[in-house]
Amino acid sequence: MQLSSSWKTASLPHIITAVKSRMRQVAWRRLAPFGLSPQQYQLLMAMSEKDGRCHGDLARCTWMDKPTASRILRTLQDRGLVRAEADPSHGRRVLFTLEPAGEALVASLQGFRQYMREGMEQGLPEGDRAQLRSVLASVMDNLDRMEAELIESGSEPKSEQK
């Protein structure tokens, strides 16, 4: 799809939302044969990088809220891909590890991971890739600062209060 010239003048939040939406659409299609959602994929990959993580750590490293991570982890447990075990060093914490079926699925997903990384960076010179990462890191730092300011002040705009 060719983007219109208005794309170049769109607001940064609009562009980021559009990119995220399109990335999820592509991911859903590529993950469908595995019976996984993009969020399930993210949690499985996080566990493959470091097994034995608590749900709070998994939520943080995948940018999910804790209730969403808990719900998805339960689904992965029900499918026999993930095991929950009590943390021997912390009485109330549960650690999540991959079951053998989860490890096999993660191994079969390496092609997907490479497809997404290479596909999204196709045609971008290395310098542009590095610059894009740097710019997006700055945007994320700004968002983290904005969130911390809201938390610190204890006030949120009325439209965002629950």
pLDDT in tens, 127-141: 999 999 999 999 989
| Helix 100-108 / helix 110-121 crossing angle, nearest 10 deg | 30
Q: Please check the confidence at residue 2 and state whether its pLDDT lies above 70.
A: no
Contact assessment for residue 96 and residue 83, using Cβ atoms and an 8 Å cutoff: yes
CA distance 132 to 90: 40
Q: Does position 121 have pLDDT exceeding 80, yes or no?
A: yes
- Distance from C-alpha of 23 to C-alpha of 31, rounded to nearest angstrom: 12
Using CA atoms, how far apart are residues 10 and 16, in angstroms rounded to an integer?
10
pLDDT tens for 80-106 read 999 999 888 877 889 999 999 999 999
Indicate whether 69 pLDDT > 90: yes
User: 85 with 97: CB under 8 angstroms?
Assistant: yes
Q: What is the reported pLDDT for 111? A: 87
CA distance 95 to 99: 13
| Other Cβ atoms within 10 Å of 8 Cβ, number | 8
- Global model pTM greater than 0.85: no
pLDDT (0 to 100) of residue 80: 97
